[in-house]
Chain A
């Protein structure tokens, strides 16, 4: 472990003077704090309860280079864009912002949509305000991200404003053995609305780590549709840490869709801090080979009269392995909480494995909390119904497998994104003779 810690501390020492915003006190302090925490804790191990089902060996056995001084890869964006999606777009390659591939809204006083590397000199005060607290450094990955924070997106949507297009944030991993550390900050003002799509992509046969954090806050009455679309290849490692703070009557909807990656770990924590807040957390994972995806969700009801709904569905094939850990905490005084959680899985192979674990901590007495998990097979009645219409058994099974996940895609309300996801899933799952 020491060797690994020293590797990243050395990288930090060498890089820190060249990171964007060097010389800005508060940011330098955050970075220093990050590397201090990391050098104390290192990466989490299997003995820690929150990490016991996911071995990080493949990540920790390798000494990734953090992205500074990376030769700039040239990327052909054509095949990476979604047909028909009209969006504002920020493109990051190996963690660094690429303005030539990006499409930003015209600058105005109302809202800020920027890359951190540019915004830190252009709008230092705004950036300081929204980045005053990053994600909690509960594990070494978050600490490492803060230690190297120099790029990522910074978005502030002003009060009573609705962005006219979705914001599409594309994170491309293209350099071999590179670790990207995007740090994202998103603030949606009072009664403002935004749609944000974070897409994670690998290009080429490269082994990469993308260790991202996103700190999100929603003011009173704000609404955010937040998509996390992970389509890494089998050599792509990803740890994503997302923290959401919700004010009164705000609405947060996450759609976490994982269609690949050697090892993907998603930490999603949503805190409902004032009455009337609602969060909707939807997840979908479909992996095969020896891929591994681990979703850790954490909903914290801190105030009365808040609601949360959580549904994660997965289809695992071959030797794939998934973990779902859903924690719901209802704090003392959070009366009239209404929380539901479900995790449903289909295993297509006897070698696939799912570990699913709900964890309810309830400190209030007048609450509704429902949870359930299933690991299932194909519904035989539905199978007979399809066969009785002339569809052969193999095709009927594959169609029902597709249907199991396609059902969740109804929650994806951006048509071009939905179509693209549906196509990937249909091509993978539906067998047609």
Chain B
């Protein structure tokens, strides 16, 4: 599904990612954990195609394609989805408009017919129910005036609608209370399947109680310094990140 080899990225001359190697197979859920400033969010943004970063070395292959050569919208249409850490407010564009434009651009790319208003409405109501989102939120401007939890739920709604092959969730748990976290996790778990993969970027182990990963990687100072099974997350929770940083510095 996704193969990252020796990925280096920098922003304004500062090197942030210093040789990431990561293989994500179909159906797998990988958690990437690490202290603040380790490069977690940079990795997520680079995968989605944000152009604030300069790729200085390495490659990313997604379903046999060179991901780094693709425009962000093409990545989205090919099934890459980034759930933003800070979803953007867009006054003046209704959530419905965005969702409909998004699903139809993906469908068109895949050679499917665009959904008409009626079919779209049926589909979106079903998906909204899945993330327990009230319908009024569909008719409001994108994320405008939404609480932190509502914004994250809106991200998961978009993900549920677009049914991506590769989902990258950037700190989706940050700022969520436990109830909101459970709803978000439920939405994510419903999407798990043998053909969909997920990369969860998180600072805390808490999310992983609800979305159980197949693999856990620890990122520090721009490199993956340890990988293991889900029990690695518990170890991190117990010991903190101090020992990891020592390890990275060594």
Contact = CB atoms under 8 A, between A and B. Distances in A.
Contacts of B109: 390
Contacts of B102: 389-391
A379 B97 CA distance: 18
Nearest to B82: A388
Nearest to B77: A390
B162 to A, nearest CB: 7
Contact of B90 (A385, A390, A392): A385
B76 A390 contact: yes
Contacts of A400: 90, 93
B77 A406 contact: no
A384 B84 CA distance: 11
A404 B92 contact: yes
Interface in B53-103: 71-73, 75-77, 81-82, 84, 87-88, 90-93, 97-98, 101-102
Given A384-B72, A399-B93, A391 B88 contact: no
Interface in A376-415: 379, 381-382, 384-393, 395-396, 399-400, 402-407
B92 A388 contact: no
Nearest to A392: B73
Interface in A162-217: none
Nearest to B106: A390
Interface string A84-113: 000000000000000000000000000000
A326 to B, nearest CB: 22
Interface residues of B, number: 29
Contacts of B91: 403, 407
Interface residues of A, number: 23
A405 B105 contact: no
Most buried by A among B48, B76, B109: B76
B114 to A, nearest CB: 11
Most buried by A among B82, B87, B90, B105: B90
B92 A391 contact: no
B50 A384 contact: yes
A199 B9 CA distance: 56
Contacts of A390: 73, 76-77, 101-102, 105-106, 109, 162
Contacts of A406: 92-93
Contacts of A384: 50-51, 72
Nearest to A404: B92
A390 B82 CA distance: 11
B38 interface: no
A379 B93 CA distance: 14
Contact of B92 (A386, A387, A402): A402
Contacts of B106: 390
B202 interface: no
Given A384-B50, A399-B101, A389 B92 contact: no
B88 A385 contact: yes
Contacts of A404: 92
B34 interface: no
Interface in B101-131: 101-102, 105-106, 109
Contacts of A407: 91-92, 141
A392 B92 CA distance: 18
A385 B86 CA distance: 10
A388 B77 CA distance: 9
A397 to B, nearest CB: 12
Given A384-B50, A386-B98, A399-B101, A391 B90 contact: no
Nearest to B45: A384
B49 interface: yes
A390 B101 CA distance: 8
B158 interface: yes
5 contacts: A387-B49, A388-B82, A390-B77, A391-B98, A395-B101
Given A385-B88, A387-B49, 10 more contacts: A388-B72, A389-B101, A389-B162, A390-B73, A391-B98, A392-B73, A403-B91, A405-B92, A406-B93, A407-B92
Interface of A: 379, 381-382, 384-393, 395-396, 399-400, 402-407
The 7 closest A-B pairs by CB, nearest first: A403-B92, A407-B92, A390-B76, A390-B105, A406-B92, A389-B102, A385-B88
